[in-house]
Amino acid sequence: MTEQTGEGQVDAGADGHDRIEVVDNPDRGRFELHDGERVIGVASYAVVPPSAPDGPTRVVFFHTEVSPAYEGRGLAGRLASFALDATIASGRAIVALCPYIKVYLRRHPEPYAAHVLPPNRDDVAAAERAAAAAG
């Protein structure tokens, strides 16, 4: 069973003990998969302000991973879907540098295609800075 909460999405297993939650952690610049208190996956991003007064704020996704112990359960897809849906809901544009997010967008063009922008130099620089700060 999957429930939406104010902060994320919770997935409870048949016995109610396996609870996987997806949350945005803007202070760390990433969406996170949690199994209880443990972070088991991330979709890292950098936020780039509009380059023009009427341009959109851009969310640049540059790295996605799920702990090997949790692979094969569709969690990376759930993480990507939640992150992209939250980006659209916030009125921001999606920029995909991350190979996983690029493939996800190609396989699931709707409802995302209208919100995807090609990367520019500012996006790449912001992603590089965010990756260095997280490293």
pLDDT in tens, 56-113: 999 999 999 999 999 999 999 999 999 999 999 999 999 999 999 999 999 999 999 9
Beta strands at 58-66 and 93-96: parallel, antiparallel or unpaired = parallel
d(CA 132, CA 135): 5
Query: What does pTM read for this prediction?
Result: 0.85
Bridging pattern class, strands 58-66 and 38-48:
antiparallel
